[in-house]
A and B are shown apart, each in its own frame.
Chain A
């Protein structure tokens, strides 16, 4: 959506780098997953799923636990065969090709470090399989140890390392062979929050430096948003949306995605008027009117949803200029202070809670909003998004 942005069209959010081969109709995908289904007995873990991933892309599979992310990754690695459909890597059909012959390497969720080998031995393992010369192996291992800053730990066994160090050994082992694609299953899942944030940037750095294609599985949306060029949001074995982090956040294509990613206020109603690039939605049951930019083509009287993020809602004791649209009046119900921002919960007469977030950009506030204040919430016409599914 932001890729074909014209000169006078705004772009959605910020992006990490100018890299968008998915908008180039000429670009050939590096990995093509075509109508892949995976069944375990009569349970469908991956359901007729299609995806394309481009060379040097940092791609994230995001979804709740049990939605089939790992299964999809394991099919790419060759540990599971698709029940139907096919997977192409670099143009080659992967059906029947065993894991040890695929041009991909995987970093396991449990790290799967060989407990009877040293850090060095673990990293060298894959290189030895390739029959690399001894000197070359040593050089490559040294290079990898340097890359993950574990030079001093080369002779240790995995059980003598901390969780963060093990994670880096697993990473070094997986990239040592310079695979075309690196698959990472919840690579940061076992780390604590602070280490996780640091490691996110290290991973991104590494991916750029080595010029690899990364496919990362995660259930942590912040992690996916931080690291990935594109995110595939999955639910029950299906892909709900594939888009850049900003698109997924600002332009979700369905109520599921809007709800899954971040915080959202969701309204249900019917379109009351359509035209002039605007849509009026009569929200049930309060019957207030939302006038929004027409981000979807709708007909009058159609049931639609409207999603708006808390930080795009203003909150104030003053009545807005035009209280008849995009405005509501209610009681301050709850205040959640997070330090960097505050989330206000405003309870309307109907009982609906509207969440509005504001950044605490200054340290001191005169007469701050408090419990039981009566407040107005309001937002702009381009602040939310119309959802028809």
Chain B
């Protein structure tokens, strides 16, 4: 009896994450997908058809017949969307590379720091999460604007004479993304580097390899699982990023998150914006699957 209870309990425990995914991921996705097949309408909610189960089976079937792929076709006809997707991928890609360039040395320095200070360094990396993401992005406005801290400092140091325009450019978006997503990249790389046996580097040096070559032949390849994980963790959310391009970017900054927001709130076109979201999700499925493959492989090699 007890066995039965415990086996049922263990099954229930396994069920919980699936239930979670079902309620908070799969069902909302289907709702969005359904809306994306609808048409705009001047009503509440602002689209048709609306399923009304009280209207009977025939009405239900009639509603189904109203579904169309028009919104998706619309997306292919207006180059704006294609450009926005492309530009999002591009901005996310460039930001990921920049984050890697900034983040890898940080992770490396942390992993090579004396064991006693590592927890402190780790704390410092996680510390920004204690303040709201929105507030931190707002703070960058204060730093980057023409009369902001950065320009004041550079002029005071006589590096420049006229203020640089950084705010409301893609540069500001890059800075914002690199800053915001840095911890997601640093942590997996740090964990890969920290696990690595340092005597491997010593062995390489012992066999005649100078330190820099030893880094590229031993340390870097062995940290690759962390690098891959970190890059995906930056790239995937950065593609759909909305707050950073909205606050720091300019009118020429084209990102799909912003386009979606415009469709939804300015144009009140729920149907098209849902289609935009569905396509974005499909686009991201590719890197997400790649990411999971890489994770699985990394776990396999640890065994």
Contact = CB atoms under 8 A, between A and B. Distances in A.
Given A115-B222, A116-B222, A126 B207 contact: yes
Given A110-B199, A112-B199, A115-B222, A126 B208 contact: yes
B147 interface: no
B221 interface: yes
B197 A112 contact: yes
Main secondary structure of the interface of B (DSSP, over half): helix
Interface in A109-145: 110, 112-116, 125-126, 129-130
A85 interface: no
A177 B222 contact: no
B203 A106 contact: yes
B32 interface: no
Contact of B202 (A99, A126, A129): A99
Contact of A130 (B206, B208, B210): B208
B200 interface: yes
Contact of B205 (A98, A113, A115, A177): A98
- Give the interface size bracket for A toward B: 20 to 34
B207 A173 contact: yes
B228 interface: no
A129 B217 CA distance: 11
B145 to A, nearest CB: 47
Contacts of A77: 202, 206
A105 B206 contact: yes
B202 A114 contact: no
A79 interface: yes
Interface string B172-204: 000000000000000000000000010110111
Nearest to B201: A112
B210 to A, nearest CB: 5
B298 to A, nearest CB: 12
Contacts of A110: 197, 199
A99 B206 contact: yes
A177 B202 contact: no
B227 to A, nearest CB: 14
Given A108-B202, A110-B197, A116 B207 contact: no
Contacts of B301: 115, 159
Given A114-B218, A115-B222, A116-B221, A129 B207 contact: yes
Interface of A: 77-79, 98-101, 104-106, 108, 110, 112-116, 125-126, 129-130, 159, 173, 177
10 contacts: A77-B202, A79-B205, A100-B205, A100-B208, A106-B203, A110-B197, A112-B199, A114-B218, A125-B204, A159-B303
Interface of B: 197, 199-200, 202-210, 213, 217-218, 221-222, 301, 303
